[in-house]
Structure 1
């Protein structure tokens, strides 16, 4: 489903902070309704039950200001793996999780590269369009979730309590837990391969221009190729 606000609609892309966004909107005193999916969507990273929370603009076409959030595809894989591993919950009905499931993060990445190359880029494209811009709407970043949500709501003309949004505690932080943080780091080789696989989204959304060293396992660190930001789709 999509979250319908008085003057806008929120489309919840999986693992981009949407659970926090929904909670913050509720705490901010904005009345909302859930709008159901109107048609089928072919998107392997989202199963049919996932569409209940993760409807796309194509599945729920509403002629009003829309907003959604993305995150660096590299951290998307970290978050997804940590969430499923922590909760011991790999969904057999989801083709992506069924084929990529592994207790080892590096094997999970290899499975994703093999069976769903460019998976996050394709998923984002399903929400944002071919140019990753969400025409007529706003694309916020999970990396600056609070400020971008406030900006989106202001752009939409919503009436809300900003203080309540700022006081909303974080949600779903499995990848930041000490027990998982060191387990979902990339080797230089896997980082490079994933940057190539997700090049279209990383380049279009500007993530290829950021310092990516935080994703590397420093215990196994080897320098990235000099052209590491020249990603391709």
Structure 2
């Protein structure tokens, strides 16, 4: 779920950017007031309210309480992104796991079953490069468009998965929260995906094509080539 922190700030969890780790850290730091909406709610779905009437009512009441306590002003919001090439790798690893096996998010057509990656339904493959080809054939610049759903002027801080620990510390400082920075820096990894059933090795031409398609994302968030060569911490596989 999106997280409402105790000072009214909001954490938006973009899939495969280390959000499970961030959620655990925030909860164990006693900074979370409650979870609300969809786990991966983007700005359009921030007040999205769940599949059952009980969940819808609960989430509506929770956000009403937030506004009553902190006012209708826009909250401090933050999220994290990652290099597009690494995002494709991470999603492939995640969905290739036996307990996922390219499950379908087809229920996203239901008003209460939305998922930001439902557009990838049916595009999985046992071979990594074919998976990427399937995606860009139907959704060129997919990662750029995914991130665009979470990042606009209402979002105050955008960190990077590659520097997740330090960027989380910075975001919480900017949000005006009191916390233990060393606790965050030393927090264990969370949600590391298992090794996929096939090796991830980019086809050079495909890699170049994807970098071209994702240029807007690369430039917007200050990423430089080559993506896979970036030195990220061990959270690179976290959801």
Among 208, 220, 228, the residue aligned to 1:204: 220
- 1:119–1:164 distance in 2 versus 1, CA, 3 Å: same
Deviations 1:114-142 (A, max 9, x none): 1111111111111113xxxx445000000
| 8 A contact 2:160–2:167 mirrored in 1 | yes
Distance 2:150 2:155 in 1: 13
Alignment partners' CA distance in 1, 2:197 and 2:227: 16
Unaligned 5+ segments in structure 2 are 48-72, 107-117, 231-239
Q: 1:92 aligns with which of 104, 111, 130?
A: 104
Distance of aligned partners of 1:205 and 1:171 in 2 relative to their CA distance in 1, 3 Å threshold: same
| Residue 165, structure 1, aligned to residue 184, structure 2 | yes
CA shift at 1:143, angstroms?
0.2
SS at match of 2:125: coil
TM-score by length of 2: 0.73
Give the alignment partner of residue 102 of structure 1, picking from 92, 113, 125.
125
Corresponding residue of 1:142: 161
State the 1:180 CA deviation: 4.0
Instruction: Map Cα deviations across residues 68-123 of structure 1 (whole Å, 9 max, x no partner).
Output: 00000110000000011123511222443322111110110110111111111111
Q: Does 1:214 align with 2:233?
A: no
Q: Does 1:71 align with 2:82?
A: yes
- In 1, Cα distance between equivalents of 2:46 and 2:19: 17
Q: Which has the higher contact order (CA 8 A, sep 6+)?
A: 2
Runs of 5+ unmatched residues, structure 1: 37-51, 216-233
Number of residue pairs matched by the alignment: 192
| Contact 1:99/1:115 (8 A) holds in 2 | no
Which of 203, 207, 211 matches 1:191? 207
**What is the CA distance between 1:11 and its match in structure 2?**
0.5
Alpha-carbon distance in structure 1 between the residues aligned to 2:177 and 2:89:
33
Contact 1:91 1:97 in 2 (8 A): no
Distance in 1, Cα, partners of 2:32 & 2:142: 34
Matched, 1:118 2:167: no
Secondary structure of the equivalent of 2:132?
Answer: helix
The equivalent of 1:2 in structure 2 is 2
Q: 1:212 to 1:35 in 2, by over 3 A?
A: closer
TM-score, with length taken from structure 1 = 0.75
Which one of the candidate residues 45, 52, 57 is aligned to 2:43?
57
Match of 2:79, SS state, is strand
1:27 touches 1:164 (CA, 8 Å); kept in 2? Answer: no
